[in-house]
Amino acid sequence: MSLRPLIPLFPILLLLAGCNEPSDSIAECKPDAAPGSECTLHVDDLRPTQFAVGRVAVECKKREIEAKSNDELKKWLAKDKRRVPAVVGPGGRFYITDRHHTAAALYLSDPFKDWDDDDKRMHVSVTENRFLRTNNDQAAFWDWMLANNAAWLHDNKGLQPMNPALLPKNLGEMLNDPYRTLSRWVRESCGYLKSTEQRCLSFGEGGNSDFMEFHWAGYFREKTPLPLGDARACAHLPYAEGCLNNEVSALIELYPVAMEAALSLNAKHYLEYVGLHPVKLGFNPTGKSLWASFDARGCETVD
């Protein structure tokens, strides 16, 4: 009887351990990336699927990022909650479908003293590859994106539908929607309940509807108007300098009004009236919440 040579187990264990690659070794994103795969891409090469963000919220996140060293930034970006979902579209470009505020903050950030340009890379989770299916057919791509709730084509005034060809070409060109900042503040204060905000779930069932922050921003836009300049002059650019002065101060003053509006039954009735499901949109039925305080730049801390 012949004896088979024993295969050393230690090298095999090392190989198996290497199957879960560390974040630094995740591959560069390529146009043929398969759905479900993960890769990294420089933030300059990510494309937005919405027209606007809350610039005050972005600036707060930007200052947080800029305070990090090279190593701190890499570890921070590698966390699951900051991985951006993306669809590969025409031209093999990566269109992110969530976490626009974090991505925009990284795009706009000034490098820390020990950064280099390549540090501004985001971890990407590929949810679909339409480039492999439709190549450069723009119409087919955007039809699929809209059918699958993967793009928000309202502008920063809440108007829609906008032509997706007008979407910003990079994350730094997105417009400012102050109501999107206000919506974030109310969400983080449990004025409405998102399923990912664990500390708010004692107040009720968290919602998980697509674009819930934008739907609430639309409600606040209608029910809690900001003080703007001359209505005719500012009709098309209501949030430009001269139309919305001292944005942070105006939002802080409006914050308790928006909280009250979110927690009232009027919010539930409004959501139902416009055809939205209050529970899925995170309506808080208890009237209870956490409250935030703000610094002079509008960066919030929840009490």
Instruction: Say yes or no to pLDDT of 23 above 80.
Output: no
Burial readout 93-109 (b: 16 or more C-beta within 10 A, e: otherwise): bbbbbbbbbbbbbbbbb
Mean pLDDT of the 194-204 span: 90
Q: Helices marked H in the chain — which ranges?
A: 9-17, 55-66, 70-78, 100-108, 131-134, 138-147, 178-188, 212-223, 247-263, 265-273
Q: What's the pLDDT score for residue 177?
A: 96
Predicted confidence at residue 24, as pLDDT, reads 54
% of the chain surpassing 70 pLDDT: 90
Computed over every residue of the chain, the mean pLDDT equals 88
- Among 2-16, 38-52, 228-242, 274-288, which stretch is predicted with the lowest mean pLDDT? 2-16
Report the predicted TM-score, pTM, of the whole model to 2 decimal places. Answer: 0.87
State yes or no: pLDDT of 80 exceeds 70: yes
What is the DSSP annotation of 178-199? Answer: HHHHHHHHHHHTTSB-BTT-GG
Kindly report, residue by residue over 108-120, the tens digit of the pLDDT.
Answer: 998 777 787 778 9
CATH 3.90.1530.10 is the classification of domain 26-176? yes
Contact 67, 153 (CB under 8 A): no
Residue among 43, 134, 139, 122 at smallest CA distance from 92: 134
Range 96-112 average pLDDT? 93
Question: What's residue 4's pLDDT?
Answer: 41
CATH 3.90.1530.10-classified regions of the chain? 26-176
Residue 12 buriedness (CB in 10 A; 0-12 / 13-18 / 19+)? exposed
* Residue 45: Cβ-neighbour burial (10 angstroms; 0-12, 13-18, 19+): middle
